[in-house]
Amino acid sequence: MAKSLCVTYLLWLTLGVLGAHHFYLGRDRQALVWLMTLGGYFGLGWIRDIWRIPYYVKYANGDPETVDKLKEKIRKHAKPPSSTVRSIGQMIVSDALGYMILYAIPAEHVPEKYMALAALPVPLAVAIGVHLVGNIGEQKGNFKMPLLGAYLTYPLYFFSTHSVFWTSLASSYFFKNYAKTWRLQPRPPKPLWKRLAVFITCGLLYSSMWASWLYFNCSMTDNDGTEVKCRDSIRHFFSSPLWQDFKSVISAMYNQVRHQGWSELWRLFMTALDPQGEANAVKVLGVEPSASQEVITAAYRKLARQWHPDRFKEHGKKLEAQEKFIEIQKAYEVLSNLKSRRLKKNAQEPGDASDARNEF
């Protein structure tokens, strides 16, 4: 069935950054690249599609004039000429896949001396990225040569795991010089369900790498200079002032920017985000943010006695008390650990240091 220019532009306008218009035209590889890079490197490819779509539609429909021009180009050039856009695209996508594999490795569970071995799949991911971009449209190339070029750089990872750029460069070079050729026959059509299955599977695999990075390696630094894992920040987010009292937090941030500029905005945001769960822990135990360890311990013991599950006989109240008791224990652990870390930090850095204040 012939592809419609209007439908293509409509898909480009609505779901273009996810590659919907390319998938509609049968350019599944390009659609996947758009999905992974949010519209071809954060929308740049999506913008370029404005004037490229007419050619894509004609190519998909086998337009005689477009086919004749392509045949003439093939007669003039035995090998596809170099394209700056495609070369940059190969570097971007292969770099992205390589680094995603690298960042998805759970660094806290892999000793430093084994990181080079853990990075063994990185050249494979880079070669997949080079091959993916190199096989878009009227060009194609085998997978063996970019894979060989990528793994020739693997010894670099024993010196530095951040060698993805050189791997991408070598893989792209091998593809360009030893694999790239013209696609003389159009791809045989595949059932829509099979195309969707492959596309969704690839999207899920890519998303799983982001999920692994988010869980194992993503971290942020709070106002105390403490590095907090994103997984812990997400767990504390729904009990943070930013979530529970969103309107007043945004109002406070707006007033801060209006009266004192942007310099303190990040500090206020991190305080409201409460990545370590301090604000909620203070609220649960009913103590001041600046309370001493003795006060925190006393409040904890009082509440623990009050909400101990053994004091309740009815099943419903017993369950409620058990949940509250666990919440009190977690709050005590959070505040005690924070106090301990701050005392150690203050001992290492003498000066006028004090606990972070709760701004909201």
pLDDT digits (tens, 9 = 90+) for 282-291: 888 888 888 8
Identify the band that residue 354 occupies on the pLDDT scale cut at 50, 70 and 90: very low
Identify the band that residue 129 occupies on the pLDDT scale cut at 50, 70 and 90: very high
Fold for the domain defined by 225-348: Helix Hairpins (1.10.287)
Prediction pTM value: 0.76
* Burial class, 214, CB count within 10 angstroms (exposed 0-12 / middle 13-18 / buried 19+): middle
**What b/e sequence results for 275-292 when a residue is b if at least 16 CB atoms lie within 10 Å of its CB, and e otherwise?**
bbbbbbbbebbebeeebe
SS3 content of the chain, % helix, strand, coil (to 5): 70, 5, 25
Q: Which of 46, 150, 49 is nearest to 90 (CA)?
A: 150
pLDDT for res 133: 98
Q: Which of 218, 116, 208, 104 is nearest to 167 (CA)?
A: 116
- The enclosing H or E element of 112 equals none
Residue-range domain boundaries for the chain: 1-76, 81-217, 225-348
Mean pLDDT for the stretch of residues 147-166: 96
Mean pLDDT for the stretch of residues 111-140: 96
Per-residue pLDDT tens over the stretch 53-87: 999 999 999 999 999 999 999 999 999 999 999 99
Q: How far apart are CA 8 and CA 289, in angstroms?
A: 57
- Does residue 135 register a pLDDT over 80? yes
